[in-house]
């Protein structure tokens, strides 16, 4: 990924400003949300983290890099507002401003949707890096929703980012894929971990890998743990990121993650393994049967 | 409590099974993703064995196999002769890797060489918790 070193080498970018006087622009942070495996919650995480960061007063741009399988607009509830997509911008059929979709709820949050009827191979990695860079000039955070896999789509999504957040579920296959992705990221990107879809009750009964099991193997800085709760599904159904709500524990977990990403020293995420008396009784007498 | 009961009845929870499977699969992933590490280990292994017996370096076969509860290293090392100074040879101070190019030769051991520590090389695995 040597393209990272010289993202602005073409002449048309260098017309006015000579190299000796770089404009004093404070660049935002570009973070790729990745996992290797599909279906672990990258898109949901991107939507909620973006919403939570915007709530903290930051300007945030979400980039859907999953060209061909666009989903982030659906999760954000913005599908009817999308006119242009990321390939339109890369191919100069639309300007960035035309393509950025303002969020319904958060005034400082925008979305750049992926192209649905195109393929990942059509994305020019170098142009993608330039696009992310120009977004960094304008936004505090650029969150890139990475497609599943480790092929071209992954390479394109990662190329423009400086940091990575890896999303993992407590499953053997998901942990294995995250391990591989972290290996591919190498020493760059300082990957941090979000464990998604955790079910404390199952962990308590020994039927699911625990946070300690997962991160005992991955050994990454832990940003947070998101429980598998019905309200995550409900919010996706409605196209309203859960992080907008104030009455949900899961939403609170997303806000804690956003605070941690923001550099705030939030205490380590606690996972409660609470058990009701009835389940205790049940597992005492019948728990062994299908553990 | 549940775990205790399961242990009492000799059963492993599916979570523990998942953890064990994950550990094994990652171990073999890492081995297959780091061929140079495996090569270096193979070289060192043969160097150690060469101190005791003469081996046919061209016909050595070392590979890894996923077995029931362990990732096992299987080595097939044809022996062509016995090193007469076996057991009396002292471990050289220089890294064994530097010996790789030499033919196994008997360096005269000084007085009272320490006995070489027995090393388990055949199976690289942690505690298997089979039921």
| A175 touching B (Cβ < 8 Å) | yes
| A183 touching B (Cβ < 8 Å) | yes
pLDDT average, residue stretch B71-95: 72
Given a contact cutoff of 8 angstroms between Cβ atoms, the answer to whether B79 and B26 are in contact is no
Beta bridge partners of B65: B72
Handedness of CA B26, B27, B31, B37 (dihedral sign): positive
Distance, in Å, from the CA atom of A66 to the CA atom of A147, rounded to the nearest integer, reads 5
pLDDT average, residue stretch B45-71: 86
Residue from B114, B76, B78, B77 nearest B93 by CA: B114
| Closest CA in chain A for residue B16 | A206
| A93 touching B (Cβ < 8 Å) | no
Q: Do A208 and B6 touch (CB under 8 A)?
A: no
pLDDT average, residue stretch A45-63: 98
Given a contact cutoff of 8 angstroms between Cβ atoms, the answer to whether A52 and A245 are in contact is no
How far is the CA of A109 from the CAs of A59, A69, A104, A163, in angstroms? 6, 22, 9, 19
Q: Do B9 and A213 touch (CB under 8 A)?
A: no
Handedness of CA A142, A155, A67, A226 (dihedral sign): negative
**pLDDT at residue A45, rounded to an integer:** 97
Give the A:B interface size as CB pairs under 8 Å.
Answer: 62
> Angle at which helices A42-55 and A249-261 pack, to 10 degrees?
70
Q: Do B18 and A283 touch (CB under 8 A)?
A: no
Given a contact cutoff of 8 angstroms between Cβ atoms, the answer to whether A120 and A127 are in contact is no
Chain B positions touching chain A (beta carbons under 8 Å): 1-3, 5-6, 9, 11, 13-16, 18-19, 21-23, 25-26, 29, 33
Residue A198, helix vs strand vs coil: strand
- A151-195 pLDDT tens trace: 999 999 999 999 999 999 999 999 999 999 999 998 899 999 999
Residue to substitute from B8, B19, B29, interface A, most A β-carbons within 10 A? B19
Distance, in Å, from the CA atom of A146 to the CA atom of A155, rounded to the nearest integer, reads 9
Q: Do B2 and A202 touch (CB under 8 A)?
A: no
Beta bridge partners of A30: A142
Distance, in Å, from the CA atom of A178 to the CA atom of A270, rounded to the nearest integer, reads 22
Contacts of B8 in chain A (CB under 8 A): none
Q: Which of B3, B9, B26 shows the shortest C-beta gap to A206? A: B3
Residue A84, helix vs strand vs coil: coil
How many CA atoms, within 13 angstroms, populate the side-chain half-sphere of residue A108? 16
**pLDDT at residue A287, rounded to an integer:** 41
Residue from A276, A271, A287, A289 nearest A197 by CA: A271
Q: Do A217 and B22 touch (CB under 8 A)?
A: yes
The ipTM is 0.73
Residue to substitute from B13, B33, B66, B129, interface A, most A β-carbons within 10 A? B13
How many helices (H) and strands (E) would you count in chain B?
3, 4
pLDDT average, residue stretch A194-221: 95
pLDDT band (50, 70, 90) for residue A280: very low
Of B46 and A257, more confident? A257
């Amino acid at each position: 990924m040597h393209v990272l070193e010289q993202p602005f080498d073409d002449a048309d970018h260098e017309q006015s400003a000579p190299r000796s006087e770089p404009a004093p622009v404070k660049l935002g942070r570009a973070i790729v949300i990745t996992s290797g495996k599909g279906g672990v919650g990258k898109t949901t995480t991107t939507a909620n983290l973006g919403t939570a960061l915007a709530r903290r007063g930051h300007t945030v741009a979400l980039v859907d890099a999953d060209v061909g399988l666009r989903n982030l607009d659906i999760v954000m509830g913005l599908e009817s507002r999308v006119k242009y997509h990321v390939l339109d911008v890369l191919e100069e059929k639309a300007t960035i401003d035309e393509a950025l979709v303002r969020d319904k709820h958060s005034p400082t949050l925008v979305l750049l949707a992926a192209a649905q009827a195109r393929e990942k191979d059509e994305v020019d990695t170098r142009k993608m890096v330039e696009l992310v860079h120009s977004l960094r000039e304008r936004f505090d955070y650029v969150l890139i929703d990475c497609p599943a896999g480790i092929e071209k789509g992954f390479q394109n999504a990662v190329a423009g980012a400086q940091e990575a957040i890896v999303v993992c579920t407590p499953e053997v296959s998901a942990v294995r894929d995250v391990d591989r992705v972290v290996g591919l990221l190498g020493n760059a990107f300082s990957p941090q971990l979000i464990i998604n879809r955790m079910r404390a009750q199952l962990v308590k009964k020994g039927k699911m890998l625990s946070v300690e099991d997962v991160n005992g193997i991955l050994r990454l800085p832990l940003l947070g743990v998101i429980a598998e709760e019905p309200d995550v599904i409900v919010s996706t159904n409605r196209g309203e990121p859960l992080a907008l709500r104030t009455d949900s524990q899961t939403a609170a977990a997303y806000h804690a993650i956003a605070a941690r990403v923001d550099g705030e020293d939030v205490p380590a995420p606690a996972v409660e393994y609470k058990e009701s008396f009835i389940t205790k009784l049940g597992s005492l007498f019948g728990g062994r049967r299908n553990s | 409590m549940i775990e205790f009961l399961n242990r009492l009845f000799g059963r492993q929870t599916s979570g523990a099974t998942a953890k064990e499977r994950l550990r094994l699969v990652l171990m073999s992933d890492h081995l297959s993703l780091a061929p140079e590490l495996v090569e270096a280990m193979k070289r060192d292994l043969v160097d150690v064995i060469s101190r005791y017996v003469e081996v046919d370096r061209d016909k050595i076969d070392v590979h890894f196999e996923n077995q029931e509860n362990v990732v096992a290293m299987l080595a097939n090392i044809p022996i062509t002769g016995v090193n007469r100074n076996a057991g009396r040879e002292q471990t050289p101070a220089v890294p064994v890797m530097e010996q790789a190019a030499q033919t196994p030769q008997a360096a005269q051991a000084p007085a009272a060489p320490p006995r070489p520590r027995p090393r388990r090389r055949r199976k690289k695995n942690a505690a298997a918790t089979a039921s």
